[in-house]
Amino acid sequence: MKIEAVDFFYLSMPEVTTAADGSQDALLVRVAAGGFVGWGECEASPLPSIAAFVCPMSHSACRPVAASVLGAKLDEPMDIAAISSRVAYDSMDLLQATHTLSGIEMAMWDLLAKTREEPVWQMLGYRTTEPKIPYASMLFGDTPQDTLERGQKARADGFSAVKFGWGPIGTGNVRSDADQFAAAREGIGGDAHLMIDVGQIFGEDVVNAAQRLPALEAASATWFEEPFSGSAYEAYAALSARGSNVGIAGGEAAHSVAMARHLMDFGKVGFVQIDCGRIGGIGPAFEVARMAQTRNVTYVNHTFTTHLALSASLQPYAGLAEHRICEFPAHPSALAEAVAANPLMRNSAGEISAPAAPGLGIEVDIEALRPYLLDAEIKVGGRVIYKTPDLG
């Protein structure tokens, strides 16, 4: 087969706010080859990602992603890796290229697995899809009481693990953050897993981040996520060296396997969290999952958007029984909920698994997406180089 078409669909809620909610818009990717169609999702700003696919060439190391993808052979997993390698080399100075490729790469896995009538995780070499404990991923409330009530609702909804993120954490003082952590623990109860995500708020300030450790320990937090910017490996290592019983987590900002490896080897994180929509897709994420196994680091998916992205994020570690924690978008936007006609459902034990159906096992609900589709056009020198394609 050869890749015949790559279509991008820019979707958005009617109003996008400054809330740290990445589900307010989306960029879905449809890849066609040999009479089959695969779907993927880019975890990045939609318009720059589209532009990276269609932009005119600047020079030999700054070519549009389309130059490496359209017409390329797609018969084996090694073909996906070859396309990714060409993008990395020919678009090395196009910094949005990896984000753009990530959604395309997912769609290629989805398409190729459908031709073989097997799930992606089986193509990766796993014999089974192991159950994961999904944690309800949500934002901190503006007040501790808001946070407590959100935690209570998550437990009422059947979640035994909850992650609170962003919100006011790090913008006030140590005591106000401690109150939020305590409220989160009170809300979910003493027997649930509690994770805390502070969204890189401390930059590289190890001292400021470390001041939060006692309150996190008091709240019995499983991990302290992204205290620093994604490549601040020295800061991660310094915080890890404090010897807290709260694990240090990060990795969603890794845009390459090397970045994820450095975070484990030099940053000394205990949990590496990979977003298939950022790192280059399923193949690179699978490579990181294998690295994590040999380093005694726990691999975790990063997903805060749709169930298409959720399924893709599960594939790289679907067969790893000992890597049990799974991010689950508990309160996505109406747009994010509309993407999958068959969202992943929790079983009677409250767990989820990567689908056993062919490809990613997700059916994109075309009709449900139509109200969110934005008509967009990119024109250069009077020539249209991108126009919203037909969704149906």
Encode pLDDT of 14-61 as tens digits. Answer: 888 887 777 888 999 999 999 999 999 999 899 999 999 999 999 989
Using a cut of 0.75, tell me whether the model's pTM lies above it.
Answer: yes
Half-sphere exposure of 345 (CA within 13 A, CB side): 4
The model's pLDDT over 73-100, given as tens digits with 9 standing for 90+, comes to: 999 999 999 999 999 999 999 999 999 9
Return d(Cα 22, Cα 26) in angstroms, integer. 8
Query: Residue 213: which pLDDT band, with cuts at 50, 70 and 90?
Result: very high
Beta carbons of 41 and 54 less than 8 angstroms apart:
no
Model pLDDT, residue 294: 96
- Give the whole-number percent of the chain exceeding pLDDT 90: 92
Residue 356 CB: number of other CB atoms within 10 A?
13
Model pLDDT, residue 23: 80
Q: Which fold has domain 3-118+365-387?
A: Enolase-like; domain 1 (3.30.390)
Query: Residue 111: which pLDDT band, with cuts at 50, 70 and 90?
Result: very high
Q: How far is CA 80 from the centre of its chain?
A: 19
Q: Which tokens is 238 given?
A: 């310094």
The CATH class of the 123-339 domain is: alpha beta
Query: Residue 215: which pLDDT band, with cuts at 50, 70 and 90?
Result: very high
Domain boundaries, the chain: 3-118+365-387, 123-339
The model's pLDDT over 159-211, given as tens digits with 9 standing for 90+, comes to: 999 999 999 999 999 999 999 999 999 999 999 999 999 999 999 999 999 99
Return d(Cα 163, Cα 53) in angstroms, integer. 34
